[in-house]
Amino acid sequence: MSTPKAPEGYDRHAFEPFAVTVDLAVLTVREERLHVLLVQRGQEPYAGEWALPGGFVLPRESAETAARRELAEETGLAGAIVEGLHLEQLRTYSDPDRDPRMRVVSVAFTALVPGLPEPRGGGDAAEARWLPYGSYGPLAFDHDRILADARERVGAKLEYSCLATAFCPPEFTLGELRQVYETVWGVELDRPNFRRKVLTTPGFVRAVEGPPRRTGGRGKPAALYRAGEATALHPPLLRPEGRST
């Protein structure tokens, strides 16, 4: 980075400065569909349209800190939830014309959440909702692109990481875990083979002791598991065909 000093005649107050923002693609699995956390914009531009939650990075904040703060502000999710969230930097969007008002560079993050705390609007967001992926008109700014990138990234990470457990509550059944893969990838997985794969991967999941079992309604009650210590998946769990959308 950083030329040692700014270029000849450079004055950082001389031209329109950059604003730096964060955008969050918060994903969850609900009713066998991938859902996205969106907020409804209260002001122009794009007033009334859906957008990703996010906002300006403050002078003494890192991007990640700003992401957590904005998420808490705009969705009313409990502080404990937001703090414990698995946040991952996606990439940075810097097209000069991505915001009609001024030069805005935005650092996008992805978060995977389990249950479904119903959000509420707040801060600069008129409303906040979980919406099924793709069930909305075009989003504000370049947020459709960001969301598509996030989905692609998450789908890929499921293959070689244990990230899928981030979509599940603290204790979950193998059926719920499999549901995550099937929903994100849009395919059906063979139940027996999936079970074997998960259980034989060293630190992927840890069985919850005792006979506690949970019924998902009908069918045989399933054993409960917690996320294990492992973070990588060796060997990976590859999606059946090339890549889906």
Partner DNA sequence: ACAAAAGTGTTTCATATACACCCATGC
Partner DNA sequence: GCATGGGTGTATATGAAACACTTTTGT
- Give Cα 13 to chain centroid, integer Å: 35
Tokens 């030329």 -> residue: 3
Tell me how far, at minimum, the Cβ of 84 lies from a copy of itself, in Å.
Answer: 21
Query: Residue type for 93, please?
Result: Y
Number of residues that bind DNA (CB under 7 A): 25
What CA dihedral angle connects 204, 117, 154 and 227, to 10 degrees?
-10
Choosing from 61, 64, 73, 127, the catalytic residue is 127
The whole-angstrom separation of Cα 33 and Cα 170 is 20
Q: Residue 217, interface with DNA (CB under 7 A)? A: yes
Tell me, residue by residue from 219 to 238, as one string, x for binding to DNA by CB under 7 A and - for no binding: xxxxx-----------x-xx
- Which tokens belong to 71? 């998420």
- DSSP helix/strand/coil, 152: helix
Site membership for DNA, residue 95 (CB under 7 A): no
Which of DNA, a copy of itself, none does residue 54 bind (CB under 5 to 8 Å by kind)? a copy of itself
Query: Closer to a copy of itself at the Cβ: 49 or 174?
Result: 49
Token duo for residue 10: 């450079």
Which residue's CB is nearer to DNA, number 147 or number 237?
237
> Amino acid identity, residue 170?
P
69, amino acid identity = R
Residue 56's alpha-carbon distances to 126, 162, 207, in angstroms, are 17, 31, 42
Tell me if residue 61 is catalytic: no
Question: Which entry of DNA, a copy of itself, none binds 244, CB below 5 to 8 A by partner kind?
Answer: none
For residue 57, the 8-state DSSP code is P
Q: What residues make contact with a copy of itself under the rule CB under 8 A?
A: 1-7, 10, 12-13, 15-23, 41-47, 51-52, 54-57, 59-64, 70, 89, 91-92, 94-96, 99, 102-108, 123-124, 140-141, 143, 160, 232, 234-236, 238, 242-243
Catalytic machinery residues: 127
